[in-house]
Amino acid sequence: MAYGHYIITLFFVVKLHDLVCSQADELAAWIIIVIILGVLLLLGILVLIGIRIFMELRYRYEYQQWLKEKESARFGQQENPLYTKATTDIDNPLYDKKKRQKEKEAEASEM
């Protein structure tokens, strides 16, 4: 009985004789790997472009809805319903003193 040498890997058992392959087989394997990686890269780019197009169309739809809502607003352009005018006026007492002093000086110089 002849026993061969085997390598036990995580998923399968490979005979050592099968691991030795020609350069043509190795080149074919590299070509297949490059093609698979290229296809995956292309699919990823297409998915990103698709997401971008979907988001752009969604934003345009939302903007059109906002324009329609803006046109149907019930208040005019001159008034804002959210704005409330100030209810108190605060005078600066120091400013008033200087103003009164200048007025007194102006009256005194006129006489």
pLDDT digits (tens, 9 = 90+) for 25-54: 777 888 899 999 999 999 999 999 999 999
> CB–CB of 14/6 below 8 Å?
yes
Residue 28 CB-half CA count within 13 A: 5
> CB–CB of 5/15 below 8 Å?
yes
Of 109 and 9, which is predicted with more confidence? 109
Q: C-alpha 18: how far from its chain's center? A: 51
SS3 assignment, position 70: helix
| pLDDT for 2 | 47
Task: Work out the pLDDT band at 107, boundaries 50, 70, 90.
Answer: confident
Does this model's pTM top 0.75? no
Of 67 and 110, which is predicted with more confidence? 67
Q: Is the pLDDT of residue 20 over 70?
A: no
Q: Is the pLDDT of residue 1 over 50?
A: no
Q: Is the pLDDT of residue 57 over 90?
A: yes
Q: What are the CA-CA distances from residue 1 to residues 5, 14, 17, 30, 90 (Å)?
A: 13, 19, 17, 37, 110
Q: What percent of the chain has pLDDT over 90?
A: 32
Cα(63)–Cα(56) distance, rounded to whole angstroms?
11
